[in-house]
Amino acid sequence: MEKKQSPFGMIMQYADTYKSKYVCSVVLAVISVFSGLIPYIAVAKMVVAMIEHQDKEISFYLLWCAVAAGGYVLKGIFNGISTSVSHTATYLTMKEIRQKLVAKLTRMPMGTILESPSGYYKDVIVDRVEGIEVPLAHLLPEMTANVLAPLLMLIYLFTLDWRLALISLITIPVGMAAMSTTMKSYGENYGKSVEIGGRMTNAIVEYIGGIEVIKAFSQSKNSYAKYESAVTDNASFFYNWMKSAQWAMSAYNAITPSVLLTVLPFGVLFYASGSLAASTFVTVIILSLGLLEPMIAAMNYTDNIARVGTVMGQINDVLSSPEIEREEKLQFLSDSNIEFKNVLFSYDGTKEALKNISLTIPDGKVTALVGASGSGKSTVAKLIAGFWDVTDGMIAIGGMNVHEIPLETQAGMIAYVEQNNFLFDETVMENIRKGKPGATDEEVMNAAKAAGCDDFIRGLDKGYQTVVGSAGGHLSGGERQRIAIARAMLKDAPIVILDEATAYIDPENEAIIQNAISKLVQGKTVIVIAHRLSTITDADNIIVMNDGSVAAHGTHAELLESSDLYRSMWQAHTGTKGGA
């Protein structure tokens, strides 16, 4: 049976690279805490000297005042350096975890990502990872130091008077007992808070993402009500949680530091009975006050310990998600011939989107996929692109099973232009450059000219330096599509997938785009998905899809002769076109 890893074990497996920095931070933090105890020792020395009427020069008191001041200075210096070192290590660790999470998304099936609420991955990558900052940067060095230094001080108190040393600790278990009812349910409540906070994040992301639809269909009231409900639930949960915990926390904060309530009366009794010297009594009083401050600081981190399990649980849920299984070793592919062999595929594990299909897409030819909506056309394209993995069967590219081809290699072979191409909130220049990172400005402009979008780009406010807005929202659908085609042309991949690539192009620009596409696909293996059959009549091979199966294939002329389904689709298309 595999041993379950502790939350801190989970964190440290990511922080292992910076272990030396954390060790250094802990050592510095311990020195800082010890330095913070020096003023208490100095005060004890001076007070004892005065009580015992020791004949001390003023220099004696000035020296111990200087020692106390030095203790405060050293505490600040070492605490600052410790915090700086631990934060440097922590933010580097957080960077690596975020990079691993983002890299993980590229290896996960698209279905896994799309089935999750829109704000889930943002919540994990941004908020949950941020949640490990306190445990790593503060809890690890500071809690260690705040426990270790008082323990050594406690040993010293035991050498002075073991009775008062024990008595000075009484308020700690009493305070902890007062808080125990709250701490028992802390982990559960924090888990609920993460869940409710996630729902709120999803509602906010959905509301902002759908604002155009909300406005267009006058759904502001209904959609806002969903967002408002999520925010209210989040606020109500935290209010009720804090309300239920306030008395326990107040009792803890009042009782724990009240060390004098026990030390003074018992110390007076011991002194009165002659079993305790006045100097020892005063020293214990002063040092016990210094003893509790770091111990209380250490105990205040217990709520962060309870959070770690929930935080690392969500991070590990993503990092342990199933991946598309691929070889890592780069492979040489002799051509771009694509073959499906008895491929089954299901998005949800129940309904089959592709049903035992076998087909061939020849290297250097244009293959069109046609069929009714939901027939499986786009599914075939996305499987070729590596967005999902087959449920059963095999896909081969260049004669090699795609399972033996690294995802990076497969992605580099394919330029994918779809109906809704995503543009980043960057300049036009940078969005086109995504096709070939490192491309010169001249190469980007040449690709734009070849795609027929150079003129409209130069007509924008800042030309190629115009920021396109979130998802390209500052541009029209046709303009976004043309930039996406320019991006694909710059990539110059051997396989080109056009998934309704001319869907948003107006009739005036269609000739320009068709000319650009003809340049894009020249000499390449091309997969075209189109509803308008007139755009694919010259394809080398047309595959007719129907309900997840291959119904027929051949050239346009051959299918008109042999396929009733294709003939009816063509007649419906030309009839609609003719009547327009």
- Digit-coded pLDDT (tens) for 23-39: 898 889 888 888 888 88
Helix (H, G, I), strand (E, B) or coil at 414: strand
Whether pLDDT at 383 is above 80: yes
Angle at 5 between CA 3 and CA 11, to 5 degrees: 160
d(CA 559, CA 246): 76
Residue 433 class from Cβ within 10 Å (0-12 exposed, 13-18 middle, 19+ buried)?
Answer: buried
CB 506 within 8 A of CB 538: no
At residue 196, φ and ψ (nearest 5 deg) are -65, -40
H or E stretch at 425:
none
Is the pLDDT assigned to residue 578 strictly greater than 50? no
**Predicted pLDDT of residue 579:** 38
Mean pLDDT, rounded, for 397-402: 86
* Joined tokens for residue 529: 């998905």
Length of the chain equals: 580
Poorest-pLDDT segment among 120-124, 473-477, 545-549: 473-477
Q: Compute CA distances 454 → 394, 475, 516, whole Å.
A: 41, 14, 12
Joined tokens for residue 82: 């410790």
pLDDT in tens, 416-448: 887 777 788 888 899 899 888 888 999 999 888
Which is more confidently placed, 524 or 308? 524
Per-residue confidence (pLDDT) for residue 63, from 0 to 100: 92
Torsion of CA 118, 423, 367, 515, to 10 degrees: 160
pLDDT digit string (tens) for 328-338?
776 667 778 89
38-73: pLDDT as tens digits: 888 888 888 888 877 766 788 888 999 999 999 999
Domain ranges of the chain: 10-168+259-319, 182-249, 338-579
DSSP per position, 256-273: TT-THHHHHHHHHHHHHT
Mean pLDDT of 491-516: 71
What band does 77 get if pLDDT is binned at 50, 70 and 90?
Answer: very high
Class of domain 10-168+259-319: mainly alpha
Half-sphere exposure of 394 (CA within 13 A, CB side): 12
Mean pLDDT calculated for residue range 240-265: 78
Least confident of 133-142, 220-229, 530-539, 559-568: 220-229
Q: Amino acid identity of 217?
A: F
| 527 vs 107: CA distance, rounded Å | 23
Arithmetic mean of pLDDT, 245-272: 80
Would you say 94 and 132 are in contact if contact means Cβ atoms under 8 Å apart? yes
Nearest C-alpha neighbor of 355 from the set 396, 388, 390, 403: 390
pLDDT above 90: percentage of residues in the chain: 7
In angstroms, rounded to a whole number, what is the distance separating the alpha carbons of residues 200 and 205? Answer: 9
Could you say which DSSP state residue 4 is in? P
Would you say residue 288 has pLDDT above 70? Answer: yes
CA atoms within 13 A on the CB side of 493: 26
CATH number assigned to the domain covering 338-579 = 3.40.50.300
What DSSP letter does each residue of 518-538 carry, written as one string?
Answer: HHHTTTSEEEEE-S-GGGSTT
Write down the residue that tokens 């004890």 correspond to. 44
Q: Are 262 and 255 in contact (CB under 8 A)?
A: no
Average pLDDT over residues 389-395: 88
| 3-state DSSP assignment of residue 83 | helix
Does pTM top 0.75 for this prediction?
A: no
> Do the strands 525-529 and 366-370 form a parallel or antiparallel pair, or are they unpaired?
parallel
